[in-house]
Amino acid sequence: MLVTGGEGQLGRELAISSGPNIECVAVARGQLDIGNPQSVARMMAELKPQVVINAAAYTAVDKAESEAAQARRVNALGPGFLAAACREQGARMIHVSTDFVFDGESSRPYSPDSPPCPIGEYGRSKLAGEVAVHGELPGALTVRTAWLYSDRGANFVKTMLSLMAG
């Protein structure tokens, strides 16, 4: 199993929790630039994974407005490159996306078939990644998540606890 974004909060947790019967290779941005199709092809050819979990992402929601090209490179183009490489090698893919593909205005929980309506560049770039993944690899699984938290790294829960501690 290949996990992209291996130095990020989600990538680290996936690698740690993969279990002893799974050979998990978690790669960081310096090892795999998912926004570069040659880098993706090289890594896929080297590792030949059966499963790829894409946990790599440009996650600076507010900065995505002023760094739209970088957000799209990582969140939209990169997942498409990974999906194409998975298709070519017969690997399965799990792509991690976000609830930011929605506008947050619904009074009911969103379902997988709810129409997306992102309101910012971050959400638009993540939605474009979903579209690219399923265009290249229709059988891929997309998981949309909201807040991530763990005991390592910066996250919403740790920030709120720190603020409450004063």
- Determine the residue type at 12: R
How far is residue 117's CA from residue 106's CA, in Å, rounded to a whole number? Answer: 11
| Beta strand pairing call for 141-145 and 92-98 | parallel
Sign for the pseudo-dihedral over CA of 13, 3, 96, 98: positive
Cβ neighbours for 80, distance < 8 A, ≥ 6 positions apart: 129, 132, 133, 135, 136
Give catalytic residues, as residue numbers: 122
Among 55, 43, 133, which residue's Cα sits nearest to residue 87? 133
